[in-house]
Amino acid sequence: MGIKGLNRLISEHAPNAIKTGEMKQFAGRKVAIDASMSLYQFLINVRQQDGSQLTNEAGETTSHLVGLFSRTVRMVSNGLKPLYVFDGKPPVLKSQELGKRLAKRQEAEKAAEDATKEGKVEDYDKFARRTVKVTREQNEEAKELLRLMGIPYIEAPCEAEAQCAELARSGKVYAAASEDMDTLCFGAPVLLRHLTFSEQKKVPVTELFLDKALRGLDMDMDTFVDLCILLGCDYLDTIPGIGPVTALKLLREHKNLEGVIEHLKSSSSKSKVPEDWPYQDARELFRNHDVMKGSECEISWKKPDVDGLIEFLVAKRGFSEDRVRSAAEKLAKGVSQGYQGRLDGFFKKKPVSEGTEKRRGVSGKNNAAKKQKK
C-alpha cells in the first residue's frame, strides 16, 4: 500500500516538508479523510484485549463503528471539520495488486485457522489481523453513522485518496488525510497522517507539504509521479533491484521513466523492466485520476440526529448511552459554535531583501537547501 520508501526519501532530502504537531493546532481546518483506509485501520486496530474484534451481542463486528465514532468526535472536539471520502470503483490497473491482497488474505485466513486448531493465541491474533477486509455492509454502516452524526461524506468515482487530493487542491479543504503516501502523487498540497489514530497512542499528527517536498527533492510534479511509480505504487510491480536510493538517482540522471527504462535496457544493469509494465497508464492514473471536481462537491456539517444515533449505536449495537449522548453534545457544539478562523490568509509575503542575508546565532544544520550545496 502506498509508495514504498517515499517517506524516507522525503525526510532525508526535504526534512522541512514534514512537520508534526498536536491535533488541536488544526482547529478551524477542514480536512478530507480517506474513509476506506480509515475503516480498514479501525478493523485492524480497534480490538479487545484478546485480539478479537469488538462485537455487539449478536456477534456482529463493531470495531469500524467504534473507531469512526470516537475518532471523529475527537476531531470535532478539537475544532476540526472532517469530511470523509469513500472509494468508488478501483481502477482496472489495480486489479493485479488487489488480486495479490486477496491471495495474502486467504493465506492468512488459513494460517489463522491453523493457529486456532493448534491453540496458538498470539499467532491467531497476528494472522487474524491480516484477514481483514472492509465489507460492503461495513462501508454502508459507516455512511449511515456519518449521516446521523451530521458529518459529510463523498463517494469518489474512483480512488478515495485521489478525491481527497482534489478537494485539497481545489481549496475546498485544507488537507487530505490518509496514511497512503500516494495521496501526494495525486497532487494533495498538504497530507495529514495519523489523524485518525487513537488518542491513547499519543502519536502526533504529521503534516507533509508537497511543495516543500518537491523543492527538497529538486524535481517538478511530473518527475515526482515518475519517482513514485519507480519506488513502487499500488498499480505496478517494482523493478527488481531498484530501491529508493537508486530510484532517485536514476530519475535525477535520466529525467523521466522513458529515460530510466532506456538506460536500464541499454546498460548491463541486472534490473530488468518487467515485460508488462504499463507505466504510462499508472502515470495517467496519477496525473488525471477520475475525480469529482472540488467545486462541484456540496459539503456541509449538520447537527447530529441524537435519537437516530441512540437507535443505531445503543439499541442495535450495544454502545453506552451516556457515551453516545455526551459525544453527540460535542458534535452539536462543533456545528453551533461556528469554527475558529485562522491567520493564514492574513499575512502578506515579505519582500525579498537583496543580498542582506541575516546573521544567525545558529545555522540551520538540517536545512535541505544547504545540504545540497555541499
Partner 1 sequence: MLECKLQEPKVFRSVVEAMSEHIKECNFEFTREGLKMQALDSSHIAFTFVTLSATWWNEYRCDDEALLLGVNLETLLKILKCGPDNSLLALSYENDDDEVSELKVKFEVDRGEKKDVAEFALKLTHIDPMEEEVPELTWTNELEMPTQELFRIARDISLFSEIMVLEFDKDKLRISCSSKESTADYLVHPFEDSTNASNSVRMNIEAPFKVSLTTHYVLSFAKNKNINERVVIKMIDAETPLMFSFSMKEGSGICYYIAGRLTDD
Q: Which residues sit at the interface with partner 1, rule CB under 8 A?
A: 16, 21-22, 24-28, 299-300, 329, 337-344, 346-350, 356, 358-367
Q: CA-based diameter of the chain, in Å? A: 74
Distance in Å, CB of 290 to partner 1, minimum: 26
Residue number, 45 or 78, with CB nearest to partner 1: 78
- Helix, coil or strand: residue 364: coil
Distance in Å, CB of 206 to partner 1, minimum: 14
Number of CB atoms found within 10 A of residue 59's CB: 7
Grid cell digits, residue 264: 536500464
Concatenating the DSSP letter of every residue in 50-69 gives TSPBPB-TT--B-HHHHHHH
Residue number, 11 or 25, with CB nearest to partner 1: 25
Residue number, 267 or 366, with CB nearest to partner 1: 366
Distance in Å, CB of 364 to partner 1, minimum: 5
Distance in Å, CB of 27 to partner 1, minimum: 5
Residue number, 365 or 374, with CB nearest to partner 1: 365
Distance in Å, CB of 22 to partner 1, minimum: 7
- Helix, coil or strand: residue 86: strand
What is the rounded distance in angstroms from the CA atom of residue 359 to the CA atom of residue 81?
A: 41
Residue number, 59 or 351, with CB nearest to partner 1: 351
Residue number, 28 or 189, with CB nearest to partner 1: 28
Residues contacting residue 193 through CB under 8 Å, at least 6 positions apart: 177, 178, 179, 205, 206, 208
CB 44 within 8 A of CB 129: yes
Radius of gyration of the chain (CA): 23
Residues contacting residue 257 through CB under 8 Å, at least 6 positions apart: 226, 229, 230, 251, 279, 283
Is the Cα dihedral 169, 345, 351, 191 positive or negative?
negative
Residue number, 106 or 372, with CB nearest to partner 1: 372
Distance in Å, CB of 356 to partner 1, minimum: 7
What is the rounded distance in angstroms from the CA atom of residue 217 to the CA atom of residue 197?
A: 29
Distance in Å, CB of 349 to partner 1, minimum: 6
CB 204 within 8 A of CB 194: yes
Strand-strand pairing, 175-177 and 153-155: unpaired
